[in-house]
Amino acid sequence: MRLFVAVWPDDATRRALDGLGVRRAAGLRVVPPDQWHVTLRFLGEVDPAIVPEVTTTLASAAAGSAAVVARVGPATGWLGRGAVLYVPVGGLEPLAARVRAESAAVVPLSPADEAPFTGHLTLARANRRRRLPAEARRALAGAELAAEFAVEAIDLVESVLGSGGPRYHVRARIPLGAGG
């Protein structure tokens, strides 16, 4: 079972993101708005038998965290050699650190977890087989956006890969501050 821990933008933020006008184009795979999220930690392939234990560690992380405000913006950009069109999201660093620390007892940290947390929403991905022209990349980068949304829970999400792209299923929603 492929899992990650995420938070989701609210409807107003989704409308603002949609207003950026990122649309399907040759060489660009657009992420559907219902899949826009900020990954706090990618857990990878996890044995389904330990999902209850993972959920318990996430509840511990959430219990020690009050609701936070995620700040989206100031502008779109490209990550990973121009492979991912994203918009930065700030304010989630302490929450992501708690999630990493608590969940590491059940799902050991990977080398990717050693890098500092960089909050972001992925809007689109450049197609590996059909390169997006440089002019199109430049046109998509730098679109200004300023939005905020309250984060009151974290979700344990299953990602099911398929020919039409991944499908996400929330396996557990854990309110922040629930135990504190």
**Which CATH number belongs to the domain containing residue 52 in this structure?**
3.90.1140.10
One-letter identity of residue 127: N
The total domain count for the chain is 1
Q: Measure the CA–CA gap between 78 and 109, rounded to whole angstroms.
A: 26
Q: Per the domain annotation, does 180 fall within a domain? A: no
pLDDT over 60 at 179, yes or no: no
According to the model, what pLDDT value does residue 180 have?
Answer: 44
According to the model, what pLDDT value does residue 108 have?
Answer: 94
Which position has the token pair 């099911």? 160
Other Cβ atoms less than 10 A from the Cβ of 61: the count is: 23
Report the Cα 15 to chain-centroid distance in Å: 17
pLDDT over 90 at 93, yes or no: yes
In degrees, to the nearest 5, what angle opens at C-alpha 119 toward C-alphas 178 and 24?
120
For the segment 25-29, the average pLDDT, to the nearest whole number, is 78
The string of pLDDT tens digits covering residues 50-92 is: 999 999 999 999 998 899 999 999 999 998 777 899 999 999 9
Query: Lowest-confidence range among 8-17, 74-83, 124-133?
Result: 124-133
Say if residue 9 is preceded by a cis peptide, omega within 30 of 0.
no
Q: Per the domain annotation, does 126 fall within a domain? A: yes
For the segment 18-38, the average pLDDT, to the nearest whole number, is 87
- Residue 28: strand pairing partners: 25, 126
Q: How confident is the model at residue 159 (pLDDT cuts 50, 70, 90)?
A: very high
Other Cβ atoms less than 10 A from the Cβ of 82: the count is: 15
- Structural domain including 109 reads 2-175
The string of pLDDT tens digits covering residues 110-119 is: 888 888 999 9
Q: How confident is the model at residue 128 (pLDDT cuts 50, 70, 90)?
A: confident
According to the model, what pLDDT value does residue 101 have?
Answer: 94
CB 168 within 8 A of CB 157: yes
- 135 φ, ψ to 5°? -60, -40
- Residue 45: strand pairing partners: 2
For the segment 19-32, the average pLDDT, to the nearest whole number, is 84
Report the Cα 111 to chain-centroid distance in Å: 18
For residue 151, give both structure tokens: 């984060």
Q: Measure the CA–CA gap between 34 and 123, rounded to whole angstroms.
A: 11
- 75 φ, ψ to 5°? -160, 160
